Amino acid sequence: MAVVSTPSSGSATCTVELAPVEPVKIRTSIGSRRVHKSESVGSGLDRPRSSRQSDLAAQETETRSLPSPTTSSDVVQRWNYPKHNIARTAVIFWSFVVFGMNDAAYGLERYYNLNYTVVSLIFLSPFLGYTVAAVFNNWVHTKFGQRGVALGIGIFHLVSYLVISFHPPYAVLVVAYAVVGLGNGLADAAWNAWAGNLARSNELLGFVHGLYGVGAVISPVIATNMIKRGNLEWYYFYYVMIACAAVELVSVSWAFWPETGRVYRESMARGGSEGGEDTLKQALFKAPWARVTWLCAIFLLGYVGTEVSLGGWIVVFMINVRKGEEYASGMTATGFWLGLAAGRFVLGFVTPRIGEKLAIAIYLPIAMGMELLFWLVPQFYVSAVAVSLQGFFIGPLFPAVVVVMTKLLPRHLHVSAVGFASAFGGSGAAILPFAVGAIANHAGVQALQPIILAFLAAIFLIWLGLPRMQSKDD
């Protein structure tokens, strides 16, 4: 039975009637207890008051024994939510511009009168810095948070560029570039992991890495004009880098200042990390996550090495093999980095629509086709166009790998795994260009093309070994 109240016209009283109702099945809000058909609402009213009071007392006891309800849930952050993410996204953009300017700014063989192998030590020395970053990235995050990471990145860059600007003996220059590598490794690890966990990470990382390409585009233009048209020495370019690094230090430190080690540890606890466990060890040695981490790290090692080898040696190749003028050959390198940036901006919107695994399986064969065209057609302009298109199609590879890792790995491993893969992969910027230089010293710089083709084929096979894509682990 149910109680029905009928207001009386013009009166504060009402008439009470009892109307029959059908038994209903309801779910209580406490403990998700199901009330069966035999426990109808009406039957509750028909029971003695002492019985109903007993039930209420038992229900109150049950409520007190339950854990406190969770009043908040994880909301995927965006680049503009919360509002402080806008500033953080902007300073990460700037950090990657500086990163790109650094990677495209070599030109020392004539000043120091060195052969290709010795000059290639400049590419190899950052490997030490990247290795240190890969090993200690998780510890730095846990101990000092993103505040400490931001300070470290800015300080390592600024101090290194100051040393390089004094054009010291070559051995000191090699050490300075190792410190640059440490800063780059921390930046690559921290900012990729942060952006990879935001909403629409494909597009966002496309912009992040596209701005790396922008930095790599403007760097040779500035350096070439300073050296060739301004009749300045190569180290004058590093005065520009000092100013850029100073802005980076101030801006990233300000934006991430609230993110201490304690904040980071608490966020990991909320994300599912069990206290005391080494998340880097889990990512590297615990199945099935180790497979994803190592495959992505090795893929990035080959990819970044290929990218920097092309960007770093293309000018020498175009001058010595394609017989181009110095300024036109320098603009070829600009075309490659511009293609890389454009690919990241444009294909960053295409990749999530067809799926990361299929997209990269399409982009890589096209890039290999462009490499064959670059290698086998001995025309300056054909080579210039082919290498620009090659940059366009390999551009989205790095951001796509970061997104894939955030989909295949649990959330509490993202910073450690993405950080390790980024830093380990970034060491490819040291190893492959050094290998290319060593080979070029004996076989000629024309050996660049088959080496690049072989590495593109190798990372294509590695990509096919990744597991099937799944949705992000929320």
- pTM value? 0.75
Question: In this predicted model, which residue has the larger pLDDT, 432 or 84?
Answer: 84
| Percentages (nearest 5) of helix, strand, coil residues in the chain | 75, 5, 20
pLDDT digits (tens, 9 = 90+) for 206-234: 999 999 888 888 887 888 788 888 888 88
145: its two tokens: 């948070």
What percent of the chain is modeled with pLDDT above 70? 79
Ramachandran bin of 276, using left for φ above 0, alpha for ψ from -120 to 50, beta for the remaining angles: left
Structure confidence at residue 153 as a pLDDT band (50, 70, 90): very high
* The pLDDT of residue 473: 41
Ramachandran bin of 279, using left for φ above 0, alpha for ψ from -120 to 50, beta for the remaining angles: alpha
Residues near 321 by beta carbon (within 8 Å), at least 6 away in sequence: 378, 444, 445, 446
Superfamily of domain 84-464: MFS general substrate transporter like domains (1.20.1250.20)
pLDDT digits (tens, 9 = 90+) for 380-417: 999 999 999 999 999 999 999 999 998 899 877 887 88
Residue 2 has pLDDT above 50, yes or no: no
Q: What is the rounded distance in angstroms from the CA atom of residue 466 to the CA atom of residue 403? A: 13
Highest mean pLDDT among 1-5, 217-221, 372-376, 408-412: 372-376
* The pLDDT of residue 469: 67
Lowest pLDDT segment from 180-184, 242-246, 276-280: 276-280
* The pLDDT of residue 269: 79
Mean pLDDT of the chain: 81
In order of 138, 258, 472, the CA distances from 269 in angstroms are 14, 18, 18
As a whole number, mean pLDDT of residues 365-375 equals 95
All structural domains of the chain with their residue ranges: 84-464
As a whole number, mean pLDDT of residues 4-11 equals 45
pLDDT digits (tens, 9 = 90+) for 110-121: 778 777 677 777
Lowest pLDDT segment from 152-161, 164-173, 244-253, 389-398: 164-173
